[in-house]
Amino acid sequence: MGGLLGWSELMLALLLIFSMQTGSGSVNAAGPPDCSYIRTFSSNGASGVYSIQPEGFRFSFEAYCEIGENGIWTVIQKHTGGAVDFDREWAAYKNGFGFPSWDHWLGLEKISAMTKDKSKRWKLRVDLWDFEGGSAYAEYEDFRVEDESTNYRLSVGRYSGTAGDAIRGAYPGVDQNGYGFSTFDHDSDGCDPCIFGDIAINACTDFDSGGWWYSKCGSASLNGEWHPKGNNIGWSSGLHWLTWKGPAPYSAKATRMMITPM
Ligand SMILES: [Ca+2]
């Protein structure tokens, strides 16, 4: 019996060591301030879920770290299906929801904690996949999300990529850069109302769904309602990046947003 206990204790110790090394277990070490440090913290660093704690943030949390060709990225959004509901209230977008290893929104409070300090520069990468086997991306230098007192105002710098700059917009007057975040219970979208043809809209969330930096709604919206293949074109509520596929709204098969220090 004693020998058996010794063996199970050894296995537990090995499991603990393994989970600490991979960062995928329940051992909640404070961890690095963002994913770009994981090679330093973990000798066998691979893409996966790690515990991180931005400087000044009051607790550590799990984030998906994507090891890419041009850096190690902290994933802040992934949306690949309809199982995780993205039509949520302010508190949910503030604190985050979903599963870091799967569909999720990391949370505005966490994203802001990482990026609001103006002495540090961050790059945002947006990846988009369609239902026809294609993909595109948009990158923005100097990505920043300010604190809640500004409604988590978005700012982005120079754009590069293949998807077009949908944050600044496909149409004049809908620039989301410099705008606060909106949810159905927290409206800062600049519409009271907005007139589109013969439709008057007071809240972009009624129309586009989900939470986003809506500015007169605008042409980027990745937290809307997911639509399946064959039924993904023409919905106002989809996962839209209208400089990539438009003007008839095309809802993407999958989206991902991630950030890394510049
Ligand atoms: Ca409004």
* Tens-place pLDDT, residues 204-230: 999 889 999 999 999 999 999 999 999
- For residues 13-42, average pLDDT: 61
- For residues 155-171, average pLDDT: 94
- DSSP letters spanning the chain: -HHHHHHHHHHHHHHHHHHHHHS-SS------SSGGGHHHH-TT--SEEEEE--TT-SS-EEEEEEEETTEEEEEEEEE-SSSS-----HHHHHH-EE-TTSSEE--HHHHHHHH--TTS-EEEEEEEE-TTS-EEEEEESS-EE--GGGTS-EE---EEESS--TTT-SSTT---TTPPPBBTTB--SS-SSEEETTEEES-HHHHH-S-B--SSS-SEE-SS----TTS-BS-TTS-EETTTSTTTTBPPSEEEEEEEE-
Give residue 29's pLDDT: 57
> How many angstroms is it from 44 CA to the middle of ligand 1?
48
> How many angstroms is it from 198 CA to the middle of ligand 1?
17
> How many angstroms is it from 49 CA to the middle of ligand 1?
36
70-261, what's its fold? Answer: Gamma Fibrinogen; Chain A, domain 1 (3.90.215)
> How many angstroms is it from 207 CA to the middle of ligand 1?
11
> How many angstroms is it from 224 CA to the middle of ligand 1?
17
> How many angstroms is it from 247 CA to the middle of ligand 1?
23
> How many angstroms is it from 74 CA to the middle of ligand 1?
31
Selection from 85-99, 161-175, 238-252 with the highest mean pLDDT: 85-99
pLDDT for residue 28 is more than 90:
no
* Tens-place pLDDT, residues 51-70: 999 998 999 999 999 998 78
49 touches 100 (CB < 8 A):
yes
pLDDT for residue 13 is more than 80:
no
Give residue 3's pLDDT: 44
Of 11-25, 79-93, 141-155, 179-193, the range with the lowest mean pLDDT is: 11-25
Whole-number percent of the chain with pLDDT over 70:
87
> How many angstroms is it from 204 CA to the middle of ligand 1?
7
> How many angstroms is it from 154 CA to the middle of ligand 1?
17
> How many angstroms is it from 122 CA to the middle of ligand 1?
29
> How many angstroms is it from 257 CA to the middle of ligand 1?
25
Task: Give strand pairing partners of 212.
Answer: 182
pLDDT for residue 164 is more than 70:
yes
- For residues 142-148, average pLDDT: 98
Domain positions in the chain are 70-261
> How many angstroms is it from 215 CA to the middle of ligand 1?
9
Give residue 173's pLDDT: 78
Give residue 18's pLDDT: 44
pLDDT for residue 144 is more than 80:
yes
Q: Mean pLDDT score of the chain, rounded to an integer?
A: 89
Confidence of residue 98 (pLDDT cuts 50, 70, 90): very high
Of 22-36, 134-148, 188-202, the range with the lowest mean pLDDT is: 22-36
